[in-house]
Structure 1
Amino acid sequence: MKVVLVPGLWLTASSWDAVVPTLLAAGHRPEPLSMPGIGIPAAGSAQVGIADWIAEVVRVVDRDDEPVVLVGHSGGANVVWGAADARPDRVARVVFIDAVPPLDGAVIWEFPIVDGVVPFPGWDSFDEEEVADLDAPTRQRVEEQVTWIPARIPTDPISLSDDRRHGVPITVITCLMPSVDVRRTIDAGAPWVAELAAADEVEIIDLPGGHWPQFAQPEALGKALVASIRSEPVAEN
């Protein structure tokens, strides 16, 4: 199975390096992506919006005839869900890593713009529970990989138009919120999980830890991805 790996904000294809071997060993064909405009100064990236990132994933989906699995970490959730909306008949499953599918019109988040781009804001800008499992050497290594993103990306609203996306199977690999709480939130009708509530099939996998498991526990993340792609039942806490 081709597995398209979409990073979160500030990250490139290299952020999946430690996850890829587990997918390869399971017989899958991972394709990590770096998104358009990342690391390019404002003069060359100011017009790049979330629709361009979605279009890049759609281009990869369309390149082969076979169905694909889309994986999105954090802000990459908006990208993969937009691509699933554009190609619901071509996507075998969408996997969200510590994220949920966004609502129509949703944005990722607002971050400071510097020199016309959005730089990585630093570890201190995140809640402690999000970064607690990243030791100092890992944080330094990640800082060496991250780069700025186009200014429009975090606040560009996503446009969803094809209800057939709700027929695409979903896996949520949840790190910060236990799966039982995610289920309760869905059952309670919370607006921010409305896309999960509307989905025909939702699997939730617990992977306790911080917000960046591809760095803190890449092998465990890889195994969770393999299990979700096989559609194997995974015990929930």
Structure 2
Amino acid sequence: MDILLIPGLWLDASAWDDVVPAIEALGHRPVPVSLPLHASATLDDQVAAVLAAVDAASGEPMVVGHSAAATLAWLAADARPDRIARVAFVGGFPATDGRAYADFFEVRDGVMPFPGWEPFEGPDSADLDERARHDFAAAAIPVPAGVVQGVVRLTDERRFDVPVLVVCPEFTPAEAQEWIAAGDVPELAKVKHLDLVDLDSGHWPMFTRPAELARLLAP
């Protein structure tokens, strides 16, 4: 199976470098997706890049979105519900129709830069040492405003037929279930085939638990 890997905010396709060989060892074909990150890039541009990867895949791929990119993976399921075997969200949940994609932090000069580690203190970053934090921050790519402020548009109810896997790193499956039951994740409340699995890590398991993450993703 082709497993398409979509990086989250401030990351490019190289974020999956340690996961790729682990997925290959399990007999699958990992495909890290390169998202447009130039200053004028829009959410539509990034969705188009994901859909191009889906269309180029062999057979019916699995589409994996990390963090905010859970929404990109879900937009792919909305656009290609008959083409995708499964969607996986790693440490994130899809936004609802009409919401901004990822307008979480201050936008300056047309981009949303990495805000530093203060907003991520605690479970999110507990397993990242000082070197890992420094390297992440140094390599972080500011995300264009046209991406983070882009409006999510979901149009095909058949997306709820696509099986969904939620990998729960800095939170537990029980917590995720509580959020879904409380109405905090309305898209997942309508999914017909939903699995939640635990992963003992922070928010970026592709760096700290790549082999374990690969085993959870590879069916």
Same fold per TM (> 0.5)? yes
Return the alpha-carbon distance in structure 2 between the equivalents of residues 105 and 125 of structure 1: 25
User: Amino acid of the residue matched to residue 192 of structure 1?
Assistant: D
Q: 1:169–1:90: structure 2 CA closer, same or farther, 3 Å change rule?
A: same
| Residue in 1 that maps onto 2:27 | 27
| Residue in 2 that maps onto 1:95 | 88
Asked if the contact 1:81–1:94 (Cα under 8 Å) also holds between the matched residues in 2, the reply is yes
Asked if the contact 1:103–1:192 (Cα under 8 Å) also holds between the matched residues in 2, the reply is no
Kindly tell me the number of residue pairs found equivalent between the two proteins.
218
1:158 aligns with 2:152: yes
Return the alpha-carbon distance in structure 2 between the equivalents of residues 67 and 90 of structure 1: 5
| Residue in 2 that maps onto 1:214 | 206
Asked if the contact 2:34–2:49 (Cα under 8 Å) also holds between the matched residues in 1, the reply is no
Deviation sequence 1:73-104 (CA, Å, 0-9, x none): 00111111111100000010000001122211
| Residue in 2 that maps onto 1:49 | 42
Q: 1:183–1:113: structure 2 CA closer, same or farther, 3 Å change rule?
A: closer
1:224 aligns with 2:177: no
Asked if the contact 2:65–2:88 (Cα under 8 Å) also holds between the matched residues in 1, the reply is yes
User: Amino acid of the residue matched to residue 18 of structure 2?
Assistant: A
| Residue in 2 that maps onto 1:78 | 71
Deviation sequence 1:140-167 (CA, Å, 0-9, x none): 2222332112112222221000000000
Asked if the contact 1:102–1:192 (Cα under 8 Å) also holds between the matched residues in 2, the reply is no
| Residue in 1 that maps onto 2:171 | 177
TM-superposed deviation, 1:34: 2.2
Asked if the contact 2:87–2:162 (Cα under 8 Å) also holds between the matched residues in 1, the reply is yes
Asked if the contact 1:22–1:222 (Cα under 8 Å) also holds between the matched residues in 2, the reply is yes
Return the alpha-carbon distance in structure 2 between the equivalents of residues 65 and 15 of structure 1: 23
Return the alpha-carbon distance in structure 2 between the equivalents of residues 2 and 200 of structure 1: 23
TM-superposed deviation, 1:210: 1.3
TM-superposed deviation, 1:192: 2.4
User: Amino acid of the residue matched to residue 149 of structure 1?
Assistant: V
Calculate the TM-score normalised by the size of structure 1.
0.87
| Residue in 2 that maps onto 1:234 | none
Return the alpha-carbon distance in structure 2 between the equivalents of residues 85 and 114 of structure 1: 31
1:129 aligns with 2:158: no
Asked if the contact 1:111–1:154 (Cα under 8 Å) also holds between the matched residues in 2, the reply is no
Task: Indicate the RMSD between aligned Cα atoms, in angstroms.
Answer: 1.5
Asked if the contact 2:68–2:94 (Cα under 8 Å) also holds between the matched residues in 1, the reply is no
Q: 1:63–1:204: structure 2 CA closer, same or farther, 3 Å change rule?
A: same
Asked if the contact 2:6–2:65 (Cα under 8 Å) also holds between the matched residues in 1, the reply is yes
Pick one of 58, 62, 69 that aligns with 1:69: 62
Return the alpha-carbon distance in structure 2 between the equivalents of residues 102 and 174 of structure 1: 17
Share of identical aligned residues, percent? Answer: 42
Return the alpha-carbon distance in structure 1 between the equivalents of residues 110 and 196 of structure 2: 38
| Residue in 1 that maps onto 2:192 | 200
Q: Structure 1: which 5+ runs fail to align?
A: 231-237
Calculate the TM-score normalised by the size of structure 2.
0.93
SS at match of 2:128: coil
TM-superposed deviation, 1:225: 1.2
SS at match of 1:183: helix
Return the alpha-carbon distance in structure 1 between the equivalents of residues 184 and 147 of structure 2: 20
User: Amino acid of the residue matched to residue 168 of structure 1?
Assistant: V
